[in-house]
Structure 1
Amino acid sequence: MMQTDLQPDEAVRMAGEWLANEPSHEGRAIVPELKTRFGITSLQAIDAIRAAQALRRARAI
């Protein structure tokens, strides 16, 4: 059975917020940067990128 976390991972949330607020990341490989900066896995970095995109969309409305 697959485990589902009921609370979002704090490091992923922080990485997503940082990425949504950080304009200078364009043109750079962001997954390695998120892994290094926040100590997360590649899969968690992808989740953070999705969270950042959702935050940007929500702000645009």
Structure 2
Amino acid sequence: MSTIPVGGTTGHDHESTAQIDEAARWLASLPQEDRPRPIVPAMRQRFGLSPQQACIAIREAGLMHARAM
């Protein structure tokens, strides 16, 4: 049986969360046709993200876009 930490950390420190937020805002601000392809390597290079962090930023950008509609 696995245990779930209570009141623990999300695994992201403040700096990486700020990088993810910045990357998500950048991506959400770009029109679809102006987004670099492939997006994950581009975001990793531009913001210094891990592959997982880049995917989180992409998800967050999608949520920002959906909220704006």
1:39 is matched with 48
Q: TM-score, normalised by structure 1?
A: 0.84
Q: Which runs of 5+ in 1 are unaligned?
A: none
Count of aligned pairs between the two proteins: 59
State the AA in 1 paired with 2:28: A
Q: Give runs of ≥4 in structure 1 deviating > 4 Å.
A: 5-8
Q: Which runs of 5+ in 2 are unaligned?
A: none
Q: TM-score, normalised by structure 2?
A: 0.75
Q: How does 1:1-61 map to 2 (within 5 A)?
A: 3-4=9-10, 5=12, 9-23=17-31, 24-25=34-35, 28-60=37-69
Higher relative contact order (CA 8 A, sep 6+): 1
- Report the CA distance between 1:10 and its aligned residue: 0.2
